[in-house]
Amino acid sequence: MTRAMPKQDAPSKAENRLSFMLWALLASIIVGPILNQFPFINVTLDILMSFVFISGVYAVSNHRITTILTTITTIPMLIFFWHNYIPSPPIINIIGPIASILFSGLLINSIYHQIKRTRRVSSHTIKGALTIYLFLGFGWAMLHLLLYTWTPAGYVGIPPRKHR
């Protein structure tokens, strides 16, 4: 008598959405520093980050309110990331990072609640945890960018220590 092997679950819609966003985020993190050396192709990083934001809205689109809120915060973020290419008011340098921080918080909260419901660790759980970790860093980076916009003198560095 042979036992049938349990079927592997096909990736869920939520996992596929999360995977797309995570791959776009990882690509922007890996490719970003390389592209910074070549300003004429730096637009690729802006395209990748736009995919991250749009796929973030798609990743949490299983809840109507979260979808609406992430969409509302994505619009100023996209304008902020593309303000070098399109005319935009200077206030976007304040609104963009604030929207990015709110977007990160909404995304982290939504993904946390998705993975909290799982009973066992799966690839979806790991992808969700990794995405939360990376978006925590993104949110902090946007907070520092916002603080730098308000008080650039606060980021001048530590003066060198004098030797006795």
Instruction: Write out pLDDT tens, residues 61-81.
Output: 878 888 899 999 999 999 998
Q: How far, in Å, CA of 83 to CA of 81, rounded? A: 6
Tokens of 10: 């096909």
Q: What average pLDDT does the structure give for the chain?
A: 83
Task: Inform me whether the pLDDT recorded for 20 exceeds 90.
Answer: no
Grouping H, G, I as helix, E, B as strand and the rest as coil, residue 61 is coil
Closest of 146, 145, 47, 68 to residue 110, by C-alpha = 68
pLDDT at site 31: 82
Interval 18-47 mean pLDDT? 81
Q: What is the pLDDT of residues 93-145, one digit of tens each?
A: 899 999 999 999 999 999 998 888 888 888 889 999 999 999 999 999 999 98
Average pLDDT, stretch 56-60? 88
Tokens of 77: 């973020």
Question: Who has greater pLDDT, 147 or 7?
Answer: 147
Angstrom distance (rounded) from CA 20 to CA 22: 6
Which amino acid makes up residue 69? Answer: L
Over residues 147-158, mean pLDDT: 81
Q: pTM of this prediction?
A: 0.80
User: Using CA atoms, how far apart are residues 38 and 104, in angstroms rounded to an integer?
Assistant: 28
